[in-house]
Structure 1
Amino acid sequence: MTIRQAPIKQAMVLAAGLGTRMRPVTDTMPKPLVRIGGKPMIDYVLDALREAGVERAVVNVHHFADQMETHLKSYDGLEILISDERDRLMNNGGGIVKGLKLLDRETIFVMNADLFWIGEKPGRPTNLQRLAGFFDPDRMDMAMLCVRIEDTTGHNGVNDFSMSADGGLTRYRDDPSNPVVYAGAFAMQPSFLEDAPTDPFNINTYFDRAIARGRLYGMVLDGHWLTVGTPEAIGEAEETIRRFRTFA
C-alpha cells in the first residue's frame, strides 16, 4: 500500500468519561487505566498512535484525573498534553473542540481511550498508517476506522454504518446493505469543526453532517477489535488477547 500523504503527527484521545458501566472497578480508578491483557487500555491506543508516527497527543481528563496525569507523565514516546475537564465534562464533541486548542491546524487522529484492536500483521502498514493514507481531505470530511461485527469482542451487536465499495458511509438504519461498526478512531482536518459549539455536544452531529455532504468515509481495520464496557467483559477480552498471542 502506498501512503499518499505525510504521516499524521498529532492526535486527540478521549479519556474523560466516567466509566459508569464499569463500576465497581471505576469507583477507584478511571476506565482507561483498567488493565487488559497486562496493560492499561489507554496504552493500546497510545502505542498505536506512536507506531503510526504521531508525535503529539492531547488527552482529556476528568474522572480520577490525577491518576490519569500521573500515568501519562510516565508514558514514553509521545509528547502528551492534558486537556483538563475536571470542572466540566464536555462530551466527546466538546472535548475534541477544547483539545484542538492545544494542537495546530494540521490533520489529526481522534481516538477513544477505551477502544482498541489487536492482531495487526507485522511488516505491514498499521491500521492508523493505512487510515492516514486513505484520508483525502479534498473529498472527505472524516475518514473512520471501521470493523466487521464478526471481528469484535465485547460489542453490543449493533451496526453503526453501511460502507459502499469506495468506502463511503451512511447510517446502517438508512441502508443495511454492507454493515460495519465504528472502531473508535477517525482522521480529520480541524477546520471541519470550526463552527462547532464550545459547550458539550456529541460528535455524532458531525458524523451526520459529513454523511449529508457525502463526505464521511471509512476503511476496515486489520485484526480484531475490543471494547470492554463492564467488569464481566474483562475476562472475555483477556481470553481473546491470549488466543491471538497464541497464534501470532
Structure 2
Amino acid sequence: MTTTTRPPEPVRPQPPALLLAAGRGERMRPLTDTTPKPLLQVQGLPLLQWHLQALQDAGVTRAVINTAWLGGQISDRFSSFFGDHRLSDKDSSLSISYSHEGLDFGDALETAGGIARALPQLGPVFWLAAGDVFAPDFVFDAAAAQAFAADSDRLAHLWLVPNPPHNPHGDFGLSADGRALNLPAGDPAPRYTYSTIALLRAALFEHPWCDIPAGNPAGVKAPLAPLLRRAMDAGRVSASMYTGRWTDVGTPERLAELNR
C-alpha cells in the first residue's frame, strides 16, 4: 500500500495595509500642536511604528499611510528612516507610500473618505488600522487574511475589544456564529468596542454601501461607521474578539499611563 502526501497549501501574499494617520488629535493637545499623534512615543517608539513592525513581521510588504495634520513629519520620518528597508531581522521588506489628504484637500477626509481616497493604492482586500491605537500583541494573521479574501460575501472583518472605561457601552454586537451586529437602541445584548483593526474589501466602498467614487476626487469627508452598519444589516460583516493589550491613545493621560 502506498501513501501520498498532499502538498502544502500555497502561501498567498499578504494584502496591503492602510494605516490611518490623518487626524488632528485635538484631545491630545498641546502634545499634538507640534507633533502628529501617530509620532508620539510609546515605550520608546512612535505609535505608528508598532503597527509597521507588526505588519512586516506578519509578511505584509506594502503599507499606505494617509496624512493631513503635520503629515510632512510622518512621511519624512518613515520614508527616510524606513522606506524599503527592513524594520527587523525578517527577510521581507515593507514598502511605504502615502495618501496626503492635507496636501490635496487641506484637511483630513475622515475614515471612509480617507479610505476611498487611498483605494487606488490598495487592492481588492486590505488591512486597516488606526495609527493612534496601541495594540502590541495583535498579529496581522496571513491565514485570517486568506480566509477573508476567499469569502467574497464578506465585506469586512472587524476585531472587537472589551469596552474600555471611555467607551463603556461599546459599538457593535457579536453573534455566536461570528457576525458583527448593528444592535438597535435598547437591545440588551452586549456590545463591544471596535478596535479600529479590520480586514476590508474594496467593494464596501461601492454602491449601495458607499456613494464616494474610487479615489475620492472631490475630497468628500465621510465616516466609516454608517457603511459598516449598512453591511452588518445585510449580514456581510464578521468579527472576532481581540483580548491582548489595546489602548486608544486619545488623551495625554492615557499616553502617560502607557509610558509609566
Q: TM-score range by the shorter chain?
A: 0.7 to 0.9
Which region of structure 1 is more displaced relative to structure 2, 79-88 or 154-163?
A: 154-163
1:160 is paired with a residue whose SS is: coil
| Structure 1 residue 72, shift from structure 2 partner | 1.5
Q: Residues 162 and 60 of structure 1: is their aligned pair in 2 closer, same or farther, counting only changes over 3 Å?
A: same
1:83 partnered with 2:83: no
| Structure 1 residue 238, shift from structure 2 partner | 2.6
Q: Which residue of structure 1 aligns with residue 253 of structure 2?
A: 232
Equivalents in 2 of 1:203, 1:190: separation in Å? 13
Any stretches of 5+ residues in structure 2 without a counterpart? Answer: 1-8, 86-92
Equivalents in 1 of 2:27, 2:39: separation in Å? 15
Count of residue correspondences: 229
RMSD: 2.4
Q: Which residue of structure 2 aligns with residue 242 of structure 1?
A: none
The one-letter code sitting in structure 1 at the alignment partner of 2:25 is G
Q: Residues 19 and 128 of structure 1: is their aligned pair in 2 closer, same or farther, counting only changes over 3 Å?
A: farther
Provide TM-score, normalisation by structure 1.
Answer: 0.83
Map 1:1-248 → 2, pairs under 5 A: 6-73=12-79, 74-75=81-82, 76=85, 77-86=93-102, 87-103=106-122, 105-119=123-137, 126-129=139-142, 131-135=144-148, 137-149=151-163, 155-174=166-185, 175-195=187-207, 196-197=211-212, 198=216, 199-239=220-260
| Structure 1 residue 129, shift from structure 2 partner | 3.6
Equivalents in 2 of 1:216, 1:92: separation in Å? 17
CA deviation map 1:116-151 (0-9, x unaligned): 31346xxxxx354464255253331100111123xx
Percent of residue pairs identical: 30
Q: Residues 113 and 107 of structure 1: is their aligned pair in 2 closer, same or farther, counting only changes over 3 Å?
A: same
Equivalents in 1 of 2:55, 2:171: separation in Å? 24
Equivalents in 1 of 2:203, 2:154: separation in Å? 12
Any stretches of 5+ residues in structure 1 without a counterpart? Answer: 121-125, 240-248
Q: Residues 48 and 194 of structure 1: is their aligned pair in 2 closer, same or farther, counting only changes over 3 Å?
A: same
Larger Rg: 2
Equivalents in 1 of 2:195, 2:146: separation in Å? 17
The one-letter code sitting in structure 2 at the alignment partner of 1:107 is V
| Structure 1 residue 102, shift from structure 2 partner | 1.7
CA deviation map 1:173-219 (0-9, x unaligned): 55442432111111122122123313110111211111111111111
Equivalents in 2 of 1:131, 1:145: separation in Å? 11
The one-letter code sitting in structure 1 at the alignment partner of 2:221 is P
Equivalents in 2 of 1:178, 1:127: separation in Å? 26
Counting strand residues as a fraction of each chain, which structure ranks higher? 1
